[in-house]
A and B are shown apart, each in its own frame.
Chain A
Amino acid sequence: MCLGIPGEIVEMLPDRADLALVEVAGVRRPISVGLLGPDGVGPGDWVLVHVGFAMSKIDEAEAAATLQLLEGLGQAYADELDALAASDIT
């Protein structure tokens, strides 16, 4: 739960200004980008996702390293990804 998972923003949801579609390890889910400010983020940006919210913008190298670290956690990361895949916040 306290894991921050890096995700890449693939699309801003047209009818919901505060939501974006992110892709994490092949899973695409909507998340809230409301905590990142009006200039916020756009497609191609990487963000640290925590319980359905983008917490901070990160660069791609940071994202890659963090993903590798999380994969090393094994079950805890698998559980977090399953929870994300089951999530529907729209």
Chain B
Amino acid sequence: MRFVDEYRDADKARALSGQIAALCEPGRHYKFMEVCGGHTHTIYKHGLEDHLPETVELVHGPGCPVCVIPMGRVDDAIAIAREPDVILTSFGDMLRVPGGTGSFLEAKAEGADIRMVYSPLDALKIARENPGRRVVFMAIGFETTAPSTAVTVLRAASEGVSNFSVFCNHVTIIPAIKAILDSPDLRLDGFLGPGHVSTVIGCRPYEFIPSEYGKPLVCAGFEPLDLLQSVHMLLRQFAEGRCEVENQYTRVVPWDGNARALEAIARTMELRPHFEWRGLGFISHSALALREEFAAHDAEKVFDVPGVRVADPKACQCGEVLKGVIKPWECKVFGTACTPETPIGTCMVSSEGACAAYYNYGRFSRAALAESTMREGTRA
């Protein structure tokens, strides 16, 4: 696809829908996970499920960076923010994420100096301009965001900005996918790989998924036709008896990723032995910490971080949503106690979260529920 109009060509979408239906083996059910929150948005905004046969089901994965932050890390960040002379900076998405004792927004209202930034480089600039303050950047995100933190740390070190540190919460996508593949309560047939993370890591790191787990992955773009085409590519693999990693988003994703970005991460960060993910529990070697060499810029070394573990609220089923075990509207508090205005769970906070996508596009009505229950019934 080369031209703008082609991305949303209705005839092309209909033709693809037909081809997708023709590729489905009669009586077989296909369950594909889209790993990225951006995909979830496109799917609900454009009602893509209506263009797919009932036997093709899309489930949402753990690809929203805000959604996987455990409450304890939010509390840790707030504890740092309450230290004397501290300015805590983070992306706007973090503002309303609930910790065990409140959100950044609430801590800010109580007097903590918490500022939203667009880029970690903005945080570094705040540090340069406030030499008498200690400026901490709460870093979150997958490999899409980690290189920007890495470059910022390198810059802080080379410029000797000694009042700048990073509270590192970067996570890596591969262990999360592996945890889902190892999870006993979910049966998946394949993956729609995340487009933006893959601009950094490329397609090669996914190759263990077909070779060790026998599931195909197609790295997918964000246009409606990208996703339909990716589903088509997955189904074609089944039809032709293949199982491999394919790249649908070649116009943006290089097979080997971005070497400079990967180098910056490797230079400044190393894998933690364990990290807790919201709803998914502890996953080995799934998150990044700053290397010892950069201890002076590591908030976990500079501050006495409480490191208290907070259990996720009982009513909230973000964990099951993140693993694709339940749909957002199957959560007990979805759309009632938990809404984008008063979120209980992170999946409702972030615009990339599956719950927020469902809520914002109105996929929570009784009719949708009833229709889906009927579909489940038909399948059973």
Tell me if chain B binds chain A: yes
Residue ranges of A at the interface with B (Cβ–Cβ < 8 Å) = 1-4, 31-32, 34-37, 48, 50-53, 55-56, 58-59, 61-62, 64-66, 68-69, 72-73, 75-76, 79, 83-84, 86-90
**Residues on the A chain within 8 Å of B144, using CB:** 2, 4, 50, 55
CA distance A68 to B224 in the complex (A): 12
Chain B's interface size range is 35 or more
CB of B260 within 8 A of chain A? Answer: yes
CA distance A52 to B120 in the complex (A): 8
B151 touches A53 (CB 8 A): yes
Stretch at the interface among B36-44, B212-220, B283-291, B297-305: B36-44
**Residues on the B chain within 8 Å of A66, using CB:** 222
- CB within 8 Å of A: which B194-243 residues: 196, 199-200, 222-223
B252 touches A1 (CB 8 A): no
A87 touches B352 (CB 8 A): no
- CB within 8 Å of A: which B55-107 residues: 64-66, 91-93
A51 touches B251 (CB 8 A): no
A79 touches B92 (CB 8 A): yes
Output the nearest chain A residue to B94 by Cβ-Cβ distance: A1
- What total count of A-B pairs have CB within 8 Å? 122
B91 touches A1 (CB 8 A): yes
A32 touches B65 (CB 8 A): no
Stretch at the interface among B1-9, B20-28, B266-274: B1-9
B117 touches A87 (CB 8 A): yes
B224–chain A nearest beta-carbon distance, Å:
9
CA distance A90 to B124 in the complex (A): 10
Output the nearest chain B residue to A79 by Cβ-Cβ distance: B92
Output the nearest chain A residue to B37 by Cβ-Cβ distance: A2
**Residues on the B chain within 8 Å of A50, using CB:** 144-145, 148, 196
CA distance A50 to B147 in the complex (A): 10
* Among all A-B residue pairs, the 4 with the closest Cβ atoms: A52-B119, A89-B121, A76-B351, A87-B118
CB of B116 within 8 A of chain A? Answer: yes
**Residues on the A chain within 8 Å of B196, using CB:** 2, 4, 48, 50, 55
CA distance A51 to B94 in the complex (A): 14
CA distance A69 to B2 in the complex (A): 16
B264–chain A nearest beta-carbon distance, Å:
7
Given contacts A51-B119, A62-B252, A89-B119, contact A35 B38 (CB under 8 A): no
CB of B258 within 8 A of chain A? Answer: yes
Residue ranges of B at the interface with A (Cβ–Cβ < 8 Å) = 2-4, 7-8, 36-38, 41-42, 45, 64-66, 91-93, 116-122, 124-125, 140-142, 144-145, 147-148, 151, 196, 199-200, 222-223, 251-254, 258, 260-261, 264, 350-352
B151 touches A1 (CB 8 A): no
CA distance A89 to B151 in the complex (A): 12
**Residues on the A chain within 8 Å of B125, using CB:** 88-90
Given contacts A52-B120, A90-B125, contact A2 B252 (CB under 8 A): no
**Residues on the B chain within 8 Å of A55, using CB:** 144, 196, 199-200, 258, 261
5 residue pairs bridging A and B, Cβ less than 8 Å apart: A2-B64, A50-B148, A56-B258, A69-B223, A75-B351
A58 touches B252 (CB 8 A): yes
CA distance A69 to B195 in the complex (A): 14
CA distance A87 to B123 in the complex (A): 10
**Residues on the B chain within 8 Å of A51, using CB:** 91, 118-120, 141, 145, 148
**Residues on the B chain within 8 Å of A58, using CB:** 251-252
A1 touches B260 (CB 8 A): no
Given contacts A35-B147, A52-B148, A69-B223, contact A84 B121 (CB under 8 A): no
Output the nearest chain B residue to A59 by Cβ-Cβ distance: B251
B199 touches A48 (CB 8 A): yes
Given contacts A50-B144, A50-B148, contact A87 B252 (CB under 8 A): no
CA distance A31 to B116 in the complex (A): 17
A68 touches B260 (CB 8 A): no
A29–chain B nearest beta-carbon distance, Å:
8
CA distance A73 to B117 in the complex (A): 21
A88 touches B252 (CB 8 A): no
